[in-house]
Amino acid sequence: MMIIMRMKGVVILAGAALYVVLVCSRINGERGCNVYEGEWVYDDDHHTYPLFNSTACPFIRKEFDCIKYGRSDHHYLHYRWQPNACDLPKFDGVKFMRKLKGKKIMFVGDSITLNQWQSLTCLLYTASYGSNVTHHANDLISTLTFQDYGISVTYFNSHYLVDIEMEEFGRVLKLDSLKSGEIWKGFDVLVFNTWLWWHRRGIKQPWDYIEDEGIVVEDMDRTVAFTKALMRWAKWVESDVDPYKTKVFFTGVSPAHYRGEEWNEPGVRDCSNQTRPMTGSSYPAGEPLASKILKDVLSSNTTSVHLLDITTLS
């Protein structure tokens, strides 16, 4: 629960990062500012923060509605990300929707991505107050459509990006299969992520076998499996996504927040008491291995994927 609250920061950031890249792309390149290097600062401008009121966002899932479920401090709603080398514009939902008029945006990934989707949709909902917003959902896909701008923002639930298929002997995680790609293809903006599920075991592991290069095994090195799946995904991006039509983003790796040693609080086993972001621009435990792997695959196997490099923001 608190992990989700902690990730709230990531969320707003992803919305803000998308905003910067899609709406204000000049800011990113012009001055060579790396917007991912910086720190969270408390902003006491009460007209601007919080950026949305979760109670007034009708489709927010209960696990993300911290205030409704009793979080008493509101400090965390007033942070803004301050890059070291430049300033970010304030998020402007109307500007976002004008710029992306008629576009279809899809988020594909695990709960971190769900969180981002949720946050962006609440930001846009707040900005489009009074206009016609429709919501369609099933187990796999959830779409908000902002009718006045013809913009849809979809969440596609996928823990691994590659497929899990039911065979007669059990559920198989197929490192070389990406059938859902057929559904993702038609979108104008795609935002992916995957990582935290690769190390799940026991009842939290939603598959029984792994298929790799046509061979079915009970298990394998999870980091290797993750790398192979990312390469498969990268191959799909290069062969099936038209870079002139679709902008592709990948949300970087968030540290897991289960081991206090990683943030200088040895013995702590979760982040239920963490209510303020860390200061500075680095994570004491250093960059997670998965983040390095992801950067390698993106740089050597893709040509136009933008990494939303949120590791030190989360």
Ligand X SMILES: *[C@@H]1O[C@H](CO)[C@@H](O)[C@H](O)[C@H]1NC(C)=O
Q: In angstroms, what is the minimal distance from the CB of 281 to ligand X? A: 26
Would you count residue 134 as binding ligand X (CB under 6 A)?
A: yes
Would you count residue 166 as binding ligand X (CB under 6 A)?
A: no
In the set 41, 56, 94, 166, which binds ligand X (CB under 6 A)?
56
Run of H or E residues at 134: strand 133-137
DSSP 145-203: EETTTTEEEEEEE-SSSSEEEEETTEEEEETT--TTHHHHTT-SEEEE---GGGG--GG
Which residue, 11 or 88, is less far from ligand X as judged by CB?
11
Would you count residue 273 as binding ligand X (CB under 6 A)?
A: yes
Question: CA quadruple 204, 158, 172, 176: dihedral positive or negative?
Answer: negative
Q: In angstroms, what is the minimal distance from the CB of 74 to ligand X? A: 9
Would you count residue 177 as binding ligand X (CB under 6 A)?
A: no
Would you count residue 120 as binding ligand X (CB under 6 A)?
A: no
* Region binding ligand X by CB under 6 A among candidate stretches 50-58, 111-119, 213-221, 239-247: 50-58
Question: What's the CA gap between 117 and 15, in Å, rounded?
Answer: 8
Would you count residue 205 as binding ligand X (CB under 6 A)?
A: no
Which residue, 18 or 57, is less far from ligand X as judged by CB?
57
Q: Tokens 């990312």: give the residue.
A: 230
In the set 28, 268, 278, 295, which binds ligand X (CB under 6 A)?
268
Sequence length of the chain is: 314
Burial of 214 (0-12, 13-18, 19+ CB in 10 A): exposed
Would you count residue 77 as binding ligand X (CB under 6 A)?
A: no
* Region binding ligand X by CB under 6 A among candidate stretches 48-56, 86-94, 120-128, 283-291: 48-56
Q: Tokens 């000049």: give the residue.
A: 26
Q: In angstroms, what is the minimal distance from the CB of 238 to ligand X? A: 7
Question: What's the CA gap between 309 and 122, in Å, rounded?
Answer: 22
Helix axes 2-18, 111-127, angle to 10 degrees: 60
Question: What's the CA gap between 49 and 266, in Å, rounded?
Answer: 33
In the set 31, 45, 132, 168, which binds ligand X (CB under 6 A)?
132
Determine the Cα angle at 82 with ends 29 and 109, to 5°: 75
In the set 72, 138, 239, 300, which binds ligand X (CB under 6 A)?
300
Q: How many residues bind ligand X (CB under 6 A)?
A: 13
Q: Is 202 left (phi over 0), alpha (psi -120 to 50) or beta?
A: left
Q: In angstroms, what is the minimal distance from the CB of 155 to ligand X? A: 20
In the set 71, 95, 222, 235, which binds ligand X (CB under 6 A)?
235
Positions that interact with ligand X (CB under 6 A): 53, 55-56, 132, 134, 147, 231, 235, 268, 272-273, 300-301
